[in-house]
Amino acid sequence: MAVIATKDTRLVVQGITGREGTFHALRNRDYGTNVVAGVTPGRAGQNVEGIPVFDSVADAVAKAGANTSLVIVPPRFAAEAILEAADAGIEQIICITEGIPAHDMLEVYHYVRPRGIRLLGPNCPGALSPGIANIGIIPAQVFKPGPIGLVSRSGTLTYQIGGELAAKGLGNSTIIGIGGDPVIGTSFIDALDLFQADDDTEFIVMVGEIGGSDEEAAAAVIAERITKPVVAYIAGFEAPVGKTMGHAGAIISGTAGTAAAKKEALEARGVPVGTNPTEAARIVAELVAGR
Amino acid sequence: MDLYEHQGKELFAKAGIPVAAGRVAFTVAEARAAAEALGGRVVVKSQVLTGGRGKAGGVKVVSGPDEAAAAAEAILGLDINGHITRRLWIEEAVAIDREYYASVTFDRAAKMPLMMLTTMGGMDVEAVARDHPDRLARLHVDPALGFRGFHAVQLMSAAGIPVDERKAVGAMLAQIYGVFVAEDAMLVEVNPLVILDDGTLLAADSKMTIDDNALFRHADSSAMRDVAAADPQEQAAHEADLAYVKLDGDVGILGNGAGLVMSTVDVVAQAGGRPANFLDVGGGASAEKIATALGIVLSDEKVKSVLFNIFGGITRCDEVAKGLLGALETTAVRAPIVVRLDGTNDVEGRELLERAARPEITVEKTMLEAAATAVRLAREAR
C-alpha cells in the first residue's frame, strides 16, 4: 500500500516551468509517478514534455484531476502556493522549498491542519515509495522496495541511510522527508502513525537532528502506540549551542534540543539509536534478520 | 539573527514601546560625548550577544562624562562569555521601582507564539521557571487571532500584576506581540520591564532574534548585521549564501544538506578527528558555488585536510565534480581533499574526477572511510 506517494497519486507540480521544477517533474514521471499537471501563472496552455500547464491549481484540479501537489517555487511565493493548493481542494501538499519565513508557515500550518490536508515539509525532499511513485527530489535509484518505513528531517541524510540499507539488501515501503524547518506540516508522530497503519511497513527508521523537541515527543508516542520496531539516528552531537546548523530548525537553544537529550529520550523508551548512519543501518539489518 | 540591545530598542521605539534615550559608542571618546549629550546620570552597557553582562562587569551606572569615559575604558574589550565588547550603549539612568519580565517566543512544539510574564523581573527566566513556576504566567496565542485584550487580562491575572497597573502593562504586552509579528521575530524579550518611580513603564533591556528567512522583507534589521564582529569565514559564507559554522578543529567539512553535514561532523569526531567547520552548500549548488565553498573552508588556516561529502538529490554530483575541478584550476589548494560522491548523477561525477586525476583528490567510497582518511591526512599534516 505504502503511504503519501501511492499508485493513486495524481500529481500537479507548482513551479513546473522553473529549472528545478521541470527537472524533478520529469524525473518523477519517469519513475512512474502519475504527473497530471503543472502550474505556472501566465503559462496556461503550454506543456512540459506533454505535461499540461495551467494558470492555477484550481484549474489543475478541475481539468486534470490533481489530488496531490508538489511545490517547487521560490521561498517568497511558497507559502502562498501551499495555501492555493489547499484552497483548491488538494489532499496532499509536498513542499520542497527552503527558506520560507517561519511566521508565514504558522499561518499555513493553522490553515491546513484543521482541514485534514496533509502538508509534507517545507524544506523537505518529498516522499518516495520505491517501485510505486516518487514525489519530490529523492534520488530513487538509491532505494529499493522493502519493509522499512524511513522518516527523516534531513534529505541527504535520508539518502545516506537508504543507501546503507540498500547495500545490506534492505528496502523501503516509503521514505518520508518531513523537512528541516521549525514549522513543518507532518511531524515524526504523524509519520509514525502512517507507518503503523501501513501494511507494507514492518520496521520504522527515524532520522532526527538537533533543535526542537519533536524527537522527544515521538519517543513518548512510540512507547504508547507504535508496535512496529523503531530504530533511530540523531545528527548533531558536535553542534555548538545557539548556532543554526544549515536547517533553520536545527539549533540548540540554551539546553533544549541537543542530540544527547533526544538520544536519551528515545533510548529510555526502548528505541535503539545508532551513533552514525552506518551503525543505524546495521541495527536495522539485525532486527530484520532476527524477525 | 540576534540583535544587540540597542538595535532591539530601536525597533521597540519604532513600535511605540518606551525606552530610555541613548546613544551607541564604539570608543571612549564617543562614550564621553554620549554622556555629555544625554546629561545627568547614565548607564554604560556592553553590547554583546550573550547574557550575564551585569555579573561580568559589563554594565555600570555613572554620574557624568568623566565617569562614563572611565567605564567605557573598562568595558570596551571586556570578554563576556567569549564575546568581546566592541560597542557600548550609553543611556539615561532611570529611577526604577519594580522589575517585571515579558517575552514572546516562537514555540515550535505548539506552533504558536508563547507569551510569558512574571513580576520576578531582572533574573534569568529559566531560573524563575524552575524555582517559581507558579509565578511565571504562560499563554499561547493563536496566530490567526492575534494578541487580544482578554489574552492580556489572562496573563496579567495569572502573573499577579496589580489592577491599577494593568492598563499600562497590557498596552505594552500588545506592543511586544506587535513587534514580534511585525519584525518576523523568533524571540522578543524585555527583561527587565521596569516600573519607574513615577509609575510609568519602560523596556530597560531588549533581546531579539529575527528569522533569517524573513530578512528579505526587513531592510532595517538586515542592515543591523554586525559584519565586523562576524568570523571572517562565517561572513564570507553569509555573503555567498552558504550555511557555515566555525568549529575550531583542523578537518574542513563540506557537503550538501544540513543533516548530512551535521552527521559528517559527528563521524569525523568519532573517527578521532577535530572538525574545523560545518558547511552546507545547500540544494542545487552550481559549480561556482562549490568552488566558493571550498575557498571558504580553505581560507581557515587551521584546516589541514578537507572532507567533501556529497549525496546527490537536488544537487547533481556531476555539478559538484565540475565545481571542485574548477576550483582546483583557479586556486592553489594547500590541503588534501577527500571526496565522496553518491546519488543523482554520481557515476558521471566520479568519472569526471577520475578522468582529471588530480593528485590533491582522494576518492573514497563510504562516508566512514572518507572520514577516516580525512582525519588521517589532517594528523599527518600537523
Domain ranges in chain A are 11-120, 143-289
Mean pLDDT of B361-382: 92
CA distance A96 to chain B (A): 10
CA trace torsion A96, A98, A99, A105 (10° rounding) = 40
Between B251 and B229, the more confident residue is B251
Asked if B282's CB is within 8 angstroms of A276's CB, the reply is no
Q: What is the pLDDT of residue A124?
A: 94
CA distance A226 to chain B (A): 20
Q: Which of A265, A253, A244 is nearest to B114 (CA)?
A: A253
Nearest beta carbon to residue B108 from set A139, A183, A233:
A183
Q: What is the pLDDT of residue B314?
A: 64
Q: Is the pLDDT reported for residue B281 higher than 90?
A: no
**Alpha carbon separation from A31 to A24, A35, A135, A138 (Å, rounded):** 10, 10, 10, 11
Q: Percent of chain A at pLDDT above 90?
A: 88
Q: Which residue has the cell 560597542?
A: B87
Asked if A214's CB is within 8 angstroms of B284's CB, the reply is no
Residue in chain B lying closest to A239 (CA): B262
Confidence of residue B52 (pLDDT cuts 50, 70, 90): confident
**Which residues of chain B make contact with A155, given a CB cutoff of 8 A?**
257, 259-260, 283, 313-314
State the Cα angle at B199 between B198 and B201, rounded to 5°: 115
Q: Is the pLDDT reported for residue B118 higher than 70?
A: yes
Cell triple for residue B323? 565545481
Residues of B annotated as catalytic are: 101, 189
Mean pLDDT over all residues of chain A?
95
Mean pLDDT of A180-202: 97
Residue in chain B lying closest to A74 (CA): B213
Residue B332 in contact with partner chain A when CB distance is under 8 A: no
Q: What is the pLDDT of residue B290?
A: 81
- Mutation for testing the A interface, residue in B2, B104, B108, B221 having most A CBs under 10 Å: B108
Residue B249 in contact with partner chain A when CB distance is under 8 A: no
Asked if B262's CB is within 8 angstroms of A236's CB, the reply is yes
Q: Is the pLDDT reported for residue B79 higher than 80?
A: yes
Q: Is A24 a catalytic residue?
A: no
Mean pLDDT of A115-132: 96
Confidence of residue A212 (pLDDT cuts 50, 70, 90): very high
A11-120 shares its CATH topology with A143-289: yes
Q: What is the pLDDT of residue B326?
A: 83
- Mutation for testing the A interface, residue in B1, B106, B111 having most A CBs under 10 Å: B111
**Which residues of chain A make contact with B255, given a CB cutoff of 8 A?**
156
Asked if B343's CB is within 8 angstroms of A102's CB, the reply is no
Q: Which CATH class is domain A11-120?
A: alpha beta
Question: Could you tell me which residues are beta bridge partners of residue B106?
Answer: B113
Q: Is the pLDDT reported for residue A41 higher than 70?
A: yes
Residue B92 in contact with partner chain A when CB distance is under 8 A: no
Domains belonging to chain B, first-starting first, are 21-92 (3.30.1490.20), 96-222 (3.30.470.20), 232-377 (3.40.50.261)
- Mutation for testing the B interface, residue in A71, A80, A115, A238 having most B CBs under 10 Å: A238
Nearest beta carbon to residue A99 from set B213, B245, B366:
B213
Q: What is the pLDDT of residue B283?
A: 66
Q: Concatenated DSSP letters for B181-223?
A: HHTTEEEEEEEEEEEETTS-EEE---EEEE-GGGGGG-HHHHT
Mean pLDDT of B222-226: 91
Give tens-digit pLDDT for B307-364: 999 987 667 788 888 888 887 887 778 899 999 988 778 888 989 999 999 999 998 8
Burial B240-275 (b: 16+ CB within 10 A, else e): eebbbbbbebbbbbbbbbbbbbbbbbbbbbbbebbb
Asked if B262's CB is within 8 angstroms of A210's CB, the reply is yes
E strand or H helix at B97? strand B96-107
Residue in chain B lying closest to A247 (CA): B258
State the Cα angle at B242 between B239 and B243, rounded to 5°: 120
Q: Percent of chain A at pLDDT above 70?
A: 100
| From A25-29, A127-131, A154-158, the region with the lowest mean pLDDT | A154-158
Residue B278 in contact with partner chain A when CB distance is under 8 A: yes
DSSP state of B64: S
Residue in chain B lying closest to A167 (CA): B366
Mean pLDDT over all residues of chain B?
93
Confidence of residue B284 (pLDDT cuts 50, 70, 90): low
- Mutation for testing the B interface, residue in A73, A103, A152, A251 having most B CBs under 10 Å: A103
Give tens-digit pLDDT for A68-123: 999 999 999 999 999 999 999 999 999 999 999 999 999 999 999 999 999 999 99
Angle of helix B258-270 relative to helix B367-381, nearest 10 degrees, comes to 60
Give tens-digit pLDDT for B184-218: 999 999 999 999 999 999 999 999 999 999 999 99
Q: What is the pLDDT of residue B31?
A: 97
User: Kind of pairing, strands B88-92 and B42-46?
Assistant: antiparallel
- Domain A143-289, CATH among 3.40.190.10, 3.40.50.261, 3.40.50.150, 2.60.120.580: 3.40.50.261
Cell triple for residue B288? 561556482
Q: Do B118 and B159 meet the contact criterion of CB atoms below 8 Å apart?
A: yes
Residue B82 in contact with partner chain A when CB distance is under 8 A: no
Confidence of residue B285 (pLDDT cuts 50, 70, 90): low
Longest dimension (CA), chain B: 79
